[in-house]
Chains A and B, each alone.
Chain A
Amino acid sequence: MTEQADALRRGIETCKRALSGELLPHQVNAWELWRALSEASDRLSGPEEYLLYATLLRLIVGVARLQCRWLRYEADELFIDADMAREKIHSLSLRTLRSIFAKSFHPLVEMERMTLKALDAGRKHWEELSGRPFQEFAAPEAFATYGRGSEVELQVVTEVRFEELLDEMMQEFLSMGGGSDLPYEAFISKRGSASFPEMVTRSYLASFLVSQRRLSLRGEGRALVLSGATAEPGATQSVAVILRQRRQGAHADR
């Protein structure tokens, strides 16, 4: 092991300590490390030294970035010392902490399924908040709840022919990928060509195919992949509770 490789390793260790929080960023002399790196650059020999050189270079950039952030953070008029932060949290009640947090909290909006109970609670809240009645079409009474197998009793599938829709979709899956795996998003969006309502309908139908084990869904990294399942159709099925809006007015479904 050469002296030069040792120097590079020491530099890497120092940077790692700063990046992991063991050292404060300003405790690292980045210029010193940079000088060592510059001196080493002309005398590198062998792949190991090149690797150490590249690693140290990458880490010095990280440390410099951290120092920059730290400087900005300490120069901030709102800088709070660690002990002060702990003391402050200790002195405030949970209720106060919750309350100040809630004032700076902006939850993300994301597509979510809603239960009837949550919808009902939302309706009550809306009415209290606005003093106006919830729109009639969105009231829970206007929704029918049904599970698989109970469609006929509720007479909601006489026109829709639910099973046929599922079969059509299964055929489409087989024709799109020739039975091989397909990304979930590409399938429900018809590779980007489906409109938004169509995507919602397709994802809803696809969930039934998965619950019927005609398709299987698995995660690959951050993506979801649909594949043909080997289980027989009609095997044990989960019961999905879905909402269907009863049509009103001229489009009455009565």
Chain B
Amino acid sequence: MLTDDELSALRLLLFRRGMRPGASLEELEKVCTEPVEKVLAGLNEKVGDLGLEIVTIEESDEFLSEGRRRAFIRSKAPLHREELKLCGWDRRSLAALAVAASYLVSRGGRAKEIELVNVLKSKNISARRIDRMVEAGYLARTEGMISLSWRSLAEIDQDELKRLFLAAKPRTKPAKEPG
């Protein structure tokens, strides 16, 4: 059973504010009578049974401030290909995000926009996809630079992506048999 604090926190985490789900720890503190960390730990255990987990990220688009910490609920395990389709991801959008995320993650989270545009173009992906990813909160754009934004930080396991990216090997075409 969820405690009152956990229920309040769950509501805040699931409902969107504008386009953003999740809640900042300050907001959660306002509705919880117990320490937020304790409430989130308890809730995390309970939503874990549903295959979900709570993650917190530091919300900061620049390097000048510490930023606020924001908590989200996300799927504990990556989704199957079929599930991704059902969640509304078409192949092209997923490919664009995969290329952009792989490049930015391997560059430490930020790179010049023109570099990313060139990388996308090399894979025949339109640079306009960047605008859509910025709107969706996956990327942030500041003065010619593109960086991973709040949604990417919450949804992408960066270490795992880097590991897989480094380990991936290009598929080689089988050599034609003579004759």
Residues of A within 8 A of B (CB): 19-21, 58-59, 61-63, 65-66, 69-70, 73, 78, 80, 82, 84-86, 88-94, 96-98, 100-111, 118, 121-122, 125, 129, 185, 192, 196, 199, 219, 222-224
Contact = CB atoms under 8 A, between A and B. Distances in A.
Contact of B102 (A19, A89, A224): A89
A78 B162 contact: yes
Nearest to B115: A82
**Which 3 A-B pairs give the minimum distances between C-beta atoms?**
A101-B98, A110-B21, A104-B161
B38 interface: no
A16 to B, nearest CB: 9
B145 interface: yes
A104 B155 CA distance: 8
24 contacts: A20-B143, A21-B110, A59-B64, A88-B166, A89-B123, A97-B95, A98-B94, A100-B161, A101-B98, A103-B78, A104-B78, A104-B158, A105-B78, A105-B84, A106-B74, A106-B78, A107-B87, A108-B155, A110-B14, A110-B16, A129-B80, A185-B15, A222-B20, A224-B17
B157 A93 contact: no
A192 B30 CA distance: 11
B41 interface: no
B175 interface: no
B1 interface: no
Given A93-B171, A111-B14, A73 B95 contact: no
Contacts of B176: none
Q: Tell me if A's interface is mostly helix, strand, loop or mixed.
A: helix
B94 A102 contact: yes
Interface string B144-165: 1100000100111111111111
B3 interface: no
Contacts of A19: 62-64
Contacts of A111: 14-16, 21
Given A104-B164, A108-B155, A192-B31, A82 B107 contact: yes
Interface string B95-123: 10111011100111011100100010011
B74 A108 contact: yes
B64 A58 contact: yes
A88 B165 contact: yes
A96 B79 contact: no
B145 A62 contact: no
Contact of A85 (B7, B21, B106): B106
Interface string B1-28: 0000001000100111110111000000
Contacts of A90: 122-123
Given A19-B62, A125-B86, A101 B101 contact: yes
Nearest to B64: A62
Contacts of B161: 100-101, 104
B106 A105 contact: no
B91 A100 contact: no
Contacts of A121: 86
Given A85-B106, A85-B107, A105 B86 contact: no
A185 B17 CA distance: 9
B154 A80 contact: no
Contacts of A80: 106-107, 162, 165-166
B63 A122 contact: no
A125 B107 contact: no
Interface in B58-84: 62-64, 72-84
A103 to B, nearest CB: 5
Nearest to A121: B86
B127 interface: no
Contacts of B106: 80, 84-85, 88
Given A88-B165, A121-B86, A107 B75 contact: yes
B52 interface: yes
Which of the listed residues A84, A107, A196 has the most CB atoms from chain B within 10 Å of its own CB?
A107
